[in-house]
Amino acid sequence: MNQDSQEYKNKKAFFDKLITLYGRNVVVEVLQDDSIEVHKLHLAKSNKPDGAINKIMQLAKKRNIEITYHEKNALSRISKNAKQDQGVAIDIFSKTYQSAEAIKDLQSYKLIALDGVQNPQNLGMIIRSCAAGNVDGIILPKKNSAKISPLVIKASAGTLFKIPIYFCNTLEDVLPQLNEAKIYALSLEAKNSIYDLTLEKKSVFILGNESEGVSKEVISLCNDSLIIPMNRGVESLNVAVTASLIAFMRS
């Protein structure tokens, strides 16, 4: 591998770990938290120097954080949310946000993987339950999934950086590599109950889309399907509730 190729890979790996947040209140909260490592602050040139913007600039200057100014449309491409970014975005570096390739170095684990979970509030509540429960991390695809956002942070109630989140492009890219793990899909059509399961040394539990469940493509990569038995004719649970039950399940 030549030096240019290695340099490109290192640069890509660094930027893959960055999380971009937006909105004035969120950015103020991030800048006030010295435990959060900030890479760069982005501001729209059209911002008026009002109270919030002045406070953001003062906090950034105090922490010696680089500020880059953009045209409004360029800022919106960075935030990926033109309607809610309020002319402000910030890149943060999280040690707990890492490539799913790191999973192969773990000696044992109990992970929850998300297949097409779209609702930011559900993602935030899942993160909170996993951080509080007996889970070693969350596998979160970048494709066809909710992104880390201010809504997710709010729903996670400050637990976003307390549990590893392993990013990947799709679960189909990652699951075949976890050949030492037992991989289970949560499904209403499964015959085996989660309460009859003996946890393996390496286990992955896959939770599906809010309306369609786990996709057929992902189910084909699983070792088994599991169901949560329910009473009184209740057909299904919210995906965040399901995550809570898995998170606090013991062997």
Distance (Å, whole) CA 20 – CA 39: 10
Give residue 136's pLDDT.
97
Res. 41: pLDDT tops 90 = yes
Across 46-61, average pLDDT = 93
Query: What domains, with CATH codes, occur in the chain?
Result: 3-93 (3.30.1330.30), 97-247 (3.40.1280.10)
Across 188-208, average pLDDT = 94
Model confidence at 4, pLDDT cuts 50, 70, 90, reads: low
Model confidence at 232, pLDDT cuts 50, 70, 90, reads: very high
Model confidence at 1, pLDDT cuts 50, 70, 90, reads: low
Model confidence at 212, pLDDT cuts 50, 70, 90, reads: very high
Beta bridge partners of 167: 99, 140
SS (H, E, C) 170-201: CHHHHHHHCCCCEEEEECCCCCEEHHHCCCCC
Model confidence at 11, pLDDT cuts 50, 70, 90, reads: confident
Across 45-52, average pLDDT = 90
Give residue 17's pLDDT.
81
Least Cα distance to 21 among 65, 78, 74, 71 occurs for 78
